[in-house]
């Protein structure tokens, strides 16, 4: 296991260096199944349409369901099926990157396999990890899955529109999140409605112009 992680890390560092050379930022989206990664990408693609050149690496266990949802936005998409694997690794990203023209790209989004555990252990060479979590999953996720929430550069708390129908304790969530990651930006969204995304767009644009 240690050897697998070391090899993954070496390749990730090469990718990070390549992306830096080409001025491409890569965001690794990680969440539970169904928390809203694909919907976040749909909204973001719609918003960024004219202004930035975007690519998507879509990780999925077997199907192309999410890639199908995203192809209408006209950005290049590379699908990686893990064939039973529970996370992407830097080797598969390395292969996918060869399919893009990196000189014609500003942002690359990686939608990881829906899983809060292993995707946090495997560095893909990303600029930043983005954690997506939803109110309907319960407020205990930052404490139960601290690896992701500690490493995330942004946390999106989705399904705010469902909050009132659940037993999600918002104060407990924020307290636990701040315990593992005191200063991470937290954006509260209702993604199927396209609500709460202004902060996320501003963050993305700020990073892109940084």
DSSP-assigned beta bridge partners for residue 158:
134
Q: Is position 116 an interface residue for a copy of itself (rule: CB under 8 A)?
A: yes
- Cβ-contact 122, 94 below 8 angstroms: no
Q: Is position 202 an interface residue for a copy of itself (rule: CB under 8 A)?
A: no
Q: Which is nearer to a copy of itself, 23 or 46 (CB)?
A: 46
| Least distance to a copy of itself, CB of residue 49, Å | 22
Q: Which of residues 22-61 bind a copy of itself (CB under 8 A)?
A: 32-35, 60-61
Q: Which of residues 162-181 bind a copy of itself (CB under 8 A)?
A: 162, 165-167
DSSP-assigned beta bridge partners for residue 59:
80
| Least distance to a copy of itself, CB of residue 106, Å | 29
CA dihedral 182, 15, 114, 106 (to 10 degrees): 80
| Least distance to a copy of itself, CB of residue 21, Å | 32
In this chain, which of 2, 21, 50, 84 binds a copy of itself, going by CB under 8 A? 84
In this chain, which of 102, 118, 128, 184 binds a copy of itself, going by CB under 8 A? 118
**What is the gyration radius of the CA atoms in the chain, in angstroms?**
16
- Cβ-contact 29, 87 below 8 angstroms: no
- Cβ-contact 113, 59 below 8 angstroms: yes
Q: Is position 146 an interface residue for a copy of itself (rule: CB under 8 A)?
A: yes
Q: Buried b / exposed e across 57-90, counting CB within 10 Å, b at 16+?
A: bbbbeeeeebbeebeebebbbbbbbbeeeebbbb
| Least distance to a copy of itself, CB of residue 178, Å | 17
Interacting residue ranges for a copy of itself, rule: CB under 8 A: 32-35, 60-63, 65, 84-86, 113-118, 121, 134, 136-138, 140-141, 143-147, 159, 161-162, 165-167, 192
């Amino acid at each position: 296991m240690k050897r697998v992680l070391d090899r993954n890390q070496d390749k990730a560092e090469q990718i990070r260096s390549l992306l830096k050379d080409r001025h491409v930022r890569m965001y690794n989206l990680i969440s539970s199944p169904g928390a809203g990664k694909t919907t976040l990408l749909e909204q973001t693609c719609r918003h960024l349409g004219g202004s930035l050149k975007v690519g998507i690496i879509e990780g999925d266990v077997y199907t192309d369901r999410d890639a199908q949802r995203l192809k209408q936005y006209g950005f290049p998409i590379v699908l990686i099926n893990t064939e039973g694997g529970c996370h992407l690794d830097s080797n598969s990203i390395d292969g996918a990157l060869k399919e893009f023209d990196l000189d014609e790209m500003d942002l690359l989004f990686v939608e990881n396999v829906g899983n809060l555990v292993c995707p946090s252990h495997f560095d893909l060479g990303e600029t930043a990890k983005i954690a997506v979590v939803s109110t309907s999953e319960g407020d205990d996720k930052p404490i139960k899955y601290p690896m992701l929430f500690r490493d995330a550069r942004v946390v999106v708390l989705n399904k705010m529109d469902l909050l009132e129908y659940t037993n999600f304790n918002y104060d407990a969530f924020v307290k636990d999140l701040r315990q593992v990651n005191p200063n991470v930006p937290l954006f509260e969204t209702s993604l199927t409605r396209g609500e709460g995304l202004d902060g996320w767009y501003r963050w993305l644009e700020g990073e892109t112009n940084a």
